Amino acid sequence: MESKRSKYMLVGLSFFCIVLIIITSVRDGFLEPLRTGVGYFLIPIQSGVNRVGTLIYNEITDYTRFKGAVDENKQLKAQIDELMMENSRLQAEQFELERLRDLYKLDQDYQQYEKIGARVIAKDSGDWFQVFRINKGSADGVRVDANVIAGSGLVGIVTDVGANYATVRSIIDDLSRVAGAAQQSGDSCMVAGDLMLFSEKRLRITNITKDGDVKNGDRIVTSHTSSKYLPGILIGYATDITTDDTRLTKSGYLVPAAEFNNLQEVLVILELKADQVQEAPVEQGVQE
């Protein structure tokens, strides 16, 4: 019923429009008043239709522009993300290049020793690399007691070796003891690992004789008397050297040459101290 009513209304409106068109088209004078009246009726309708059409057109145009802007914005965001990823990759490569340059320089500083490069693949919990694992092992010629260097100097010593990995104990570990000497004078000292002290980026220097010529700023290197460390490897720099209360020895602190908060690549010296000279074993944790 409702459908029929709508159909009748549509037919009626269509007929009415046709009549109005005929009236406005006829040029006879007697129809002029009627045509004028119809014009008064149609012009507002036509103006309203034009306004509605203009609004619809503007809305469609604005929507098209908005959709185009949204699509363009998505493309720009995708390009920005891609550029940011590329920038991050380039920065990572730049940092790696700088590390490898430092490692190459270190390799040249100790070119008398045969070495192999290795990546750090794991470490003990904590902020620093006091004990860590590298991706080279016995299959690559790495042996227990091999010296490990990075940055500008000594990092530690290999304590355990597998076919494709090795464990390194660094000089900052509490168990580490390295026989050292002032490079300028040759006077001996002991560099002791201390994780609590290393929170200040320093290690302890002890066992300097009261007449020993070890002063602030001296380069401390591994001593030829060490049973496990090859001689002449830079450990760090002496600081705050003072005479002990006993007046028999002096002690102080050492700023390590290597960084222990972000080790990624190291060099392992394949030659052992035992290969050079056979010495009596020294108690672990006292001197190496």
Per residue in 234-245, pLDDT (tens digit) is: 999 999 999 998
**Is 254 exposed, middle or buried, given 0-12, 13-18 or 19+ CB atoms closer than 10 A?**
buried
pLDDT at 157: 97
pLDDT at 197: 93
pLDDT at 14: 62
First-to-last CA distance in the chain? 106
Mean pLDDT of 59-79: 75
How sure is the predictor about 252, in pLDDT bands with cuts at 50, 70 and 90? very high
pLDDT at 60: 74
Per cent of the chain over pLDDT 90 is 50
Mean pLDDT of 106-117: 91
> Is the model's pLDDT at 83 over the cut of 60?
yes
pLDDT at 39: 57
How sure is the predictor about 32, in pLDDT bands with cuts at 50, 70 and 90? low
Name the least confident of 89-93, 97-101, 269-273: 89-93
> Is the model's pLDDT at 26 over the cut of 80?
no
Residues in the chain: 288
At residue 149's C-alpha, the angle toward residues 145 and 213, to 5°, is 90
How sure is the predictor about 155, in pLDDT bands with cuts at 50, 70 and 90? very high
pLDDT at 38: 54
How sure is the predictor about 144, in pLDDT bands with cuts at 50, 70 and 90? very high
> Is the model's pLDDT at 247 over the cut of 60?
yes
Mean pLDDT of 119-125: 90
Q: What does the H/E/C string look like for the chain?
A: CHHHHHHHHHHHHHHHHHHHHHHHHCCCHHHHHHHHHHHHHHHHHHHHHHHHHHHHHHHHHHHHHHHHHHHHHHHHHHHHHHHHHHHHHHHHHHHHHHHHHHHHHHHHHCCCCCEEEEEEEEECCCCCCCEEEECCCHHHCCCCCCEEEECCEEEEEEEEECCCCEEEEECCCCCCEEEEEECCCCCEEEEECCHHHHCCCCEEEEEEECCCCCCCCCEEEECCCCCCCCCCCEEEEEEEEEECCCCCEEEEEEEECCCCCCCCEEEEECCCHHHHCCCCCCCCCCCC
pLDDT at 176: 95
> Is the model's pLDDT at 69 over the cut of 80?
no
CB 134 within 8 A of CB 269: no
What CA–CA distance (Å, rounded) separates 89 from 97?
12
> Is the model's pLDDT at 41 over the cut of 60?
no
> Is the model's pLDDT at 12 over the cut of 70?
no
Mean pLDDT of 62-84: 75
Q: How is the chain split into domains, by residue range?
A: 115-276
CB 249 within 8 A of CB 231: no
Per residue in 164-214, pLDDT (tens digit) is: 999 999 999 999 999 999 999 999 999 999 999 998 999 999 999 989 999
Contacts of residue 39, Cβ cutoff 8 Å, sequence gap at least 6 = 24
Q: Which residue has the higher pLDDT, 15 or 75?
A: 75
Pick the CATH number of 115-276 from 3.40.50.11310, 3.40.50.720, 1.10.3720.10, 2.40.10.340: 2.40.10.340
- pLDDT winner (highest mean) among 10-14, 82-86, 222-226, 278-282: 222-226
